[in-house]
Amino acid sequence: MSYGFLATNTNNQVLVSSDTRNLHFIGKPSVNQVRNVIDTHGGCRIFAYVVSSTVPVVPFFTMPTSDMYGITAIRNVGGNTWEIEVLRSGTSAAQPEMYVFADPRAVAPSGRHGMLVYRDDGTPSFDSRLRPLAISGGLLVAHPYNPKPVLPYGLSPYNCETPADAAGGAFVPDQVNVYSGVATPAKPMFSFSSVAQAQREAAYSAFRRECDGFDVYGNCVGAEREYSWTSRYWAFYRGGIRRLGDQVHAGWVTVAYGCNWTYMKESAFLGIGTGGDSGYGGTWPYSNETLNLAASPVIIADASRYD
Amino acid sequence: MIKPFEIIGTRPVEGLGTGVTYKVWRTEFSKPGHSQTLECETFIIVPDGENIEEYLFEVLSKSGWI
Amino acid sequence: MSEVYFSGSNSRTMFDRETDAAAEVFVGLLKVFPWARLEDYFSVSSPVYHEVLRDQVVTCCLPTTWTRRAIGPECILGTRKFCLEGATSFLRLYKIFEKAKPEWMPQSAQILFEGTNHAELMRPAPTSIDGFSDLYFKGNADEIEAAFDLPQKRGAYETFYGATVVNGQLARIKQYVYDTQGGFSDWDVVWMMACKHQSKQHLLGA
């Protein structure tokens, strides 16, 4: 190029260029709302944050606990208002800290000292007054196919009567992929979008035979009735990550669950209904499926630079 | 060969093995003349290299179904 | 409710699952077959020497709901037989007999059921189970006892018979004796009912 600015490192990688835009820190919003509270099935919380920006935002979150975390939404809710959702497993009150970045068009800087680089359209590409994003590391993670490989004997087939805390125990996701040797700064923050999804279900049926006559070698001579019940328990999961020392784990978070039941006598319906669920109704288009398992990036940076 | 479960369907799961949808059952008695069969239909992935029926048998034995 | 059968000098009693006798038998069974569960069966037999298997065998009757689920509605009864010394087991499945009566059967004999042997997945079975089956029949006691040189053993309520056939040849006859009506004593009623359920009414006129 004949005009503009270009700064590279010793590996000839671009640090600042008037042809690109660097991400800069634009704010640290607090939790605006806690949604999707689930206290069974391994627990779930979705924390919603609101930030103002004229351009799309890139959020980073801390992980204050060893639960699974992931970004589930970045959406413009009108004008310059953006809503960010972060998913967390578990039931604690801990909330991730949110650090939001965008290109320097997002906010008006203050101060008169520093370096400002413009693009050829006159908009800023880099502004040292806004604390540019410095990446300290990253990795690609993929999630295990099956959040819960084995479901136990014992969920009730009768009208979904196994309560959520017991059924939830059966569906708690327990599979992770482990990534070791991940170096992190003193106060790491992560950018990771929860893309992987999975659904698991199990139908428990009971077939009861009652003999009013007499039994001969298990065969009923006389009046015999057969009743059947079926309860289909299900859970829907989204992918998350957690950090344990120098390991990053890719695992699952239950974000919805439910149960549907039927009751029949001699193949005639006596009842149909749903059990206690998390508020989602209907039937899933996918049954025991896992989607979007391609490796996803995890970007790591030092949150203490932006406190 | 009599099996205590029924394999309903299988599908390949790339890089992992075979996804198997199956039914398993066991019978209980509440009192003479009153028997009840409990059945579960669900899904499992059998890793590459494992015999599907033997793997399923071992898993169902450990989980209390068989 | 129980049944007793006699085979030569051997005899076997079948006990309801809830009885102390059944529980006592099962304690011994569990030492050889730790995976067995008493609640899976509605009756348990005393151990008896099986002349063809040459082993002590305990017979446990499976509920028909299990058997029909695992095998199909044509199965009248299923039992699991545990061979104690060989630590093997197999299933015996009972279905309505529809073949030609063997020539060595007495004229009055009416064969009701045939019991065939089947191995189960992941459970070692005796090597000889494919070589024999059993035919369960009723008939005139005088004629049957004379034809097979059996002692006079007859129940006050009912008497039935079982023939173990090895490679087409008769190996032994079992005499099932019932002095009172009970849960095992009315094979002929079950047979008649099963013929109707399975649309085999043509057998009822035989």
For the beta carbon of residue A163, count every other beta carbon within 10 angstroms. 12
pTM: 0.73
Give the C-alpha separation, A148 to A201, whole Å: 10
Higher-pLDDT residue of A37 and A151 is A37
Nearest C-alpha neighbor of C37 from the set C51, C23, C20, C54: C23
- CB pair distance less than 8 Å for B36 and A206: yes
- Condensed to tens digits (0 to 9), the pLDDT of residues A129-141 reads 888 899 999 999 9
C144 touches chain A (CB under 8 A): no
Give the C-alpha separation, A145 to A148, whole Å: 9
Give the C-alpha separation, A275 to A288, whole Å: 19
Q: Answer whether C47's CB lies under 8 Å from C22's CB.
A: no
Nearest C-alpha neighbor of A265 from the set A306, A294, A204, A224: A224
For tokens 């066991």, the residue is B26
Strand positions, DSSP E, C19-86: 43-45, 48-50, 55-62, 77-83
Q: Answer whether A166's CB lies under 8 Å from A271's CB.
A: no
pLDDT of residue A269: 46
| ipTM of predicted assembly, 2 dp | 0.89
SS3 for C87? coil
Given B43, B45, B64, which is nearest A152 (Cβ)?
B64
pLDDT of residue B33: 66
pLDDT of residue A266: 63
**Distance from the C65 Cα atom to the nearest Cα atom in chain B, whole angstroms:** 7
- CB pair distance less than 8 Å for C186 and A207: no
C183 touches chain A (CB under 8 A): yes
Q: Answer whether C54's CB lies under 8 Å from C83's CB.
A: no
State the pLDDT confidence band at B6, using cuts at 50, 70 and 90. Answer: very high
- Condensed to tens digits (0 to 9), the pLDDT of residues C45-94 reads 999 999 999 999 999 999 888 888 889 989 999 999 999 999 999 999 99
CA within 13 Å, CB half, A305: 19
Six-digit token string for C1: 């409710």
Show Cβ contacts of residue C105 under 8 Å, excluding neighbours closer than 6 positions.
C111, C135, C137, C163
Residues of B with CB below 8 A from A203's CB?
Answer: 40-42
Residues of B with CB below 8 A from A263's CB?
Answer: none
Which of A107-121, A272-286, B12-26, C157-171 has the lowest average pLDDT?
A272-286
pLDDT of residue A214: 72
- Condensed to tens digits (0 to 9), the pLDDT of residues A164-184 reads 777 777 889 989 999 999 999
User: DSSP string spanning chain A?
Assistant: --SS-EEE-TT--EEEETTS---EEEE-PPEEEEEEEE-STT-EEEEEEEEE-SS--EEEE---SSS-EEEEEEEEEETTEEEEEEEEESS-S----EEEEE-TTSS----S-S-EEE-TTS-EEEEGGG-B--EEEEEEE---S-S---PPTT---STT-S-HHHHHHHH-----EEE------SSEEEE-B---EEEEEEEEEEEEEEESSEEETTEEES-EEEEEEEEEEEEEEEEEEEEETTEEEEEEEEEEEEEEEEEEETTEEEEEEE-S-SS--S--S-SS-EE--S-EEEEEEEGGGG-
Round the CA-based radius of gyration of chain B to a whole number and report it: 14
Quick one: which H or E segment has residue C4? strand C3-7
pLDDT of residue A145: 86
Give the C-alpha separation, C137 to C204, whole Å: 14
Among C40, C64, C187, most A C-beta atoms within 10 A, so best to mutate, is C64
Give the C-alpha separation, B23 to B8, whole Å: 7
**Distance from the B3 Cα atom to the nearest Cα atom in chain A, whole angstroms:** 18
Give the C-alpha separation, C43 to C30, whole Å: 15
Rounded to 10 degrees, what is the CA torsion of C106, C107, C113, C114?
Answer: 50
**Distance from the C32 Cα atom to the nearest Cα atom in chain A, whole angstroms:** 25
Q: Answer whether A64's CB lies under 8 Å from A96's CB.
A: yes
User: DSSP string spanning A56-87?
Assistant: --EEEE---SSS-EEEEEEEEEETTEEEEEEE
- CB pair distance less than 8 Å for C193 and A215: no
pLDDT of residue C205: 78
Higher-pLDDT residue of B34 and A36 is A36
